[in-house]
Structures are given as structure tokens and as C-alpha cells.
């Protein structure tokens, strides 16, 4: 009998281990119910078939690096009054392809005109914590907020359709108001993010950037909601290097907003660049920069430094006859530097008050009146918002 050297046994075992581990990651997992998720996420290719997610549960994908996820059918989320999220994805260098299929949140079963401010508890829909790409998905009837995007990226989100347009109509629970409320399209607290080539039809912000850096929002279409926003900005956060480019906003309360909380401290917003955006049929404010949130044009706070807000070229704003073209409400000393607004043209409605003298190159071409500019703060309106 011949004995096998221990070194040979160890080499064989090591070779088996090295070869077996990648093989397990190269498998294809299939998800047809939540019970399939645990096994599927051990693979680097995952196919999702049409199914209904159990009410009150998160469809949670904690993925291996480099995983590709293919949606092969529509997914419907069961109805339960809880906080959510309904779907969550995390992982590095992940490719998610919705292939044009739909995530249906059953919004009408929740909508009561109050969104997250009251009424029944409504789950938030989508939480993205991955880097890579997330593309080609339709979101139908979100109960409340749609995308919450976090992390350092890089992440590109593209070719998304958010259709909450059914929430524009009142229902038996909404007291004559639109039933959908707080249906934010993209809530962002992330770095190194691109959102492009997408459509949002909703009843709140199309985009709301709460913190982060190096964020691009490009070639998107927003309608029915509250427009494109930086903020609301809370204490001790930083927003910088934001590029709002080539978007259209129609039939919305607001066009472009920067909103900072009046009681916020230790925060900063800098490097907000607008290029080639087209806004039309805006009902309240075409461009609104306001440091009195949650009031509108109330007493502004001074705890958020706001600088380098530039309208570079090709931004056109057209507002309703009763709306305000442009209003700027800075706290004393909290807006700094020179803001070149030569790339902004605003028409229709009435002129608003601009209380920051560092804005250059802007001429309000509306037919009602010229823009008023002054260096002191303004308290022209204090109606509290609920967005």
C-alpha cells in the first residue's frame, strides 16, 4: 500500500476549492416567488419571472459583485399597510435590466390624498443601494415615494417610466383632492449618480436631491408633479456638483427649485448647473430658490450656505398667467458668490422678488412686470407646504 503525501492532498483540495467557488457564482438563479430569493442570490445571473410579492414583505436582492438581473415578467406587490420598502437591491457593479416589464405597487389601494402626511400607512417602493446600471423598468401606481437612491455609486439609472398618473384623480378617501400624494419620483442621497432618459408622471417632486455629489439628471420628462428640486436640505448635509441638463417639465406646480429648511444648520449647497431645460405650463413658480422651507417665501434661515448656482445656456421657462416666473429668497449672508443666469429666459405670469444681488445676466422677459431685485430678505408669503 502506498500512502499519499499530505502536500499532494492539500494541493488537490486547494485546486478543487478554487475551481468550485467561481462555478457556483456563474450559475443562473430563477425567482418565481420570494422563497426562491435566498438560493438565487448565490448566482451571478438571476432571472425574475412574473409573480406577486407577499403583502408586507420586501423583495430584497443582496447581490454578489457583478451580478446581472433580468426581469422576464411583471411583478405585482401585495397590499399591506406598512412602511416598506417593497423592493430593495444592493451590490457592486450590478446590471439590472427590466426589459420593459412592470413593477405594480397597487397604489389605488392606498391612495387617500394624504401621502406620507397622514391617512393609512403606505410603503415606500424602491430602495437602490447598488452600483452599476438599473434600466428599462416601468413603475406603475406607487403607494407613495418611488425611488430612494443611496450609496457612493457609480450608478446609472436609465429608461425608467414612473406612471402614477392615475393618482391625479380624486377618490372616495381624498376629499376631492388628487388621490396620489408624495409620490416623489427620485429621492436622492447619493454620490456619482446619473439618471437619464426617463419619464415621471406623479404628484410630487420629479427629482429631489437631499444630499450627495456628482449627480446628473439628464434628458428626462417630468409632468403632473412639483418639478425638479434640490432639497429640501436639512442640517449637516452637503450637496455639490449637480448637473440638470436637457429635461422637460410640463403641467407641474413648479419648474426648478432649491429648497432649504429654515431651521437647518451646518449645511451647504454648491455647484448647481442648469443647461438646456424646457419648462412649460407651470402653475406656481417657474424657478424658486427658497431658504424658508417648509414655508414658501417665508422668513429664510441662514444655516445653509448656497453658492455657484448657474443657468449656463438654453433654459426656458413659461408659466401660467397666475404663476410667478422667478423668485429668490435667501437668508442674510447665506447666498454667496456670483451666479450667472444669462442662460435663463422666463415668460408669462408675474415677476417674483429676488433678494440676492449676486445674480447677473438675467432679464425677466415676461409681459406682466419686471423682476424686483433687492438686497434685504423678503417675507412675502408664508403658506406652509406639505411636500
Which residues are catalytic, by number?
204, 226
Task: Give the residue among 93, 95, 77, 73 at the shortest CA–CA distance from 85.
Answer: 77
Contact 83, 58 (CB under 8 A): no
Cβ atoms within 10 Å, residue 33: 11
Query: What does the DSSP 8-state code read for residue 237?
Result: -
**CA pair distance 297, 295, nearest whole angstrom:** 6
At residue 17, the 3 state secondary structure works out as: helix
Q: Which residue has the cell 448656482?
A: 309
Radius of gyration of the chain (CA): 24
Angle (CA) 26-30-31 rounded to 5° is 135
Q: Residue 367 has which C-alpha cell?
A: 409681459
CA 81 vs CA 19, 84, 164, 233, 356: distances in Å? 47, 9, 19, 28, 45
Contact 278, 256 (CB under 8 A): no
Contact 303, 334 (CB under 8 A): yes
**CA pair distance 239, 247, nearest whole angstrom:** 20
At residue 23, the 3 state secondary structure works out as: helix
Amino acid at each position: 500500500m502506498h500512502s499519499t503525501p499530505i502536500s499532494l492532498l492539500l494541493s488537490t483540495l486547494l485546486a478543487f476549492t478554487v475551481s468550485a467557488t467561481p462555478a457556483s457564482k456563474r450559475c443562473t438563479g430563477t425567482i418565481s416567488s420570494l422563497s426562491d430569493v435566498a438560493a438565487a442570490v448565490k448566482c451571478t445571473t438571476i432571472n425574475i419571472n412574473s409573480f406577486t410579492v407577499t403583502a408586507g414583505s420586501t423583495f430584497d436582492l443582496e447581490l454578489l459583485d457583478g451580478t446581472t438581473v433580468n426581469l422576464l415578467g411583471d411583478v405585482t406587490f401585495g397590499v399591506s399597510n406598512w412602511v416598506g420598502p417593497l423592493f430593495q437591491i444592493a451590490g457592486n457593479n450590478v446590471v439590472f435590466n427590466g426589459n420593459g416589464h412592470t413593477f405594480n405597487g397597487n397604489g389605488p389601494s392606498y391612495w387617500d390624498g394624504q401621502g406620507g402626511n397622514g391617512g393609512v400607512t403606505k410603503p415606500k417602493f424602491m430602495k437602490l443601494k447598488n452600483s452599476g446600471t438599473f434600466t428599462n423598468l416601468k413603475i406603475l401606481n406607487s403607494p407613495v415615494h418611488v425611488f430612494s437612491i443611496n450609496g457612493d455609486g457609480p450608478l446609472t439609472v436609465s429608461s425608467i417610466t414612473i406612471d402614477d398618473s392615475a393618482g391625479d384623480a380624486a377618490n372616495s378617501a381624498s376629499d376631492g383632492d388628487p388621490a396620489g400624494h408624495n409620490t416623489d419620483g427620485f429621492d436622492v442621497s447619493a454620490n456619482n449618480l446619473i439618471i437619464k432618459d426617463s419619464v415621471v408622471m406623479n404628484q410630487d417632486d420629479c427629482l429631489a436631491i437631499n444630499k450627495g455629489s456628482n449627480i446628473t439628471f439628464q434628458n428626462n420628462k417630468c409632468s403632473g408633479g412639483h418639478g425638479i428640486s434640490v432639497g429640501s436640505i436639512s442640517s449637516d448635509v452637503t450637496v455639490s456638483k449637480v448637473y440638470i441638463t436637457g429635461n422637460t417639465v410640463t403641467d407641474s406646480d413648479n419648474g426648478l427649485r432649491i429648497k432649504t429648511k429654515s431651521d437647518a444648520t451646518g449645511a451647504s449647497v454648491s455647484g448647481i448647473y442648469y443647461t438646456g431645460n424646457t419648462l412649460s405650463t407651470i402653475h406656481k413658480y417657474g424657478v424658486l430658490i427658497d431658504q424658508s422651507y417648509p414655508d414658501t417665501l417665508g422668513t429664510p434661515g441662514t444655516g445653509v450656505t448656497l453658492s455657484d448656482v448657474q443657468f449656463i445656456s438654453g433654459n426656458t421657462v413659461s408659466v401660467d398667467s397666475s404663476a410667478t416666473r422667478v423668485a429668490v429668497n435667501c437668508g442674510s449672508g447665506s447666498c454667496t458668490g456670483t451666479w450667472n443666469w444669462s442662460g435663463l429666459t422666463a415668460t408669462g405670469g408675474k415677476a417674483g422678488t429676488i433678494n440676492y444681488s449676486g445674480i447677473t445676466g438675467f432679464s425677466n422677459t415676461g409681459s406682466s412686470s419686471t423682476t424686483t431685485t433687492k438686497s434685504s430678505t423678503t417675507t412675502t408669503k408664508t403658506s406652509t407646504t406639505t411636500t
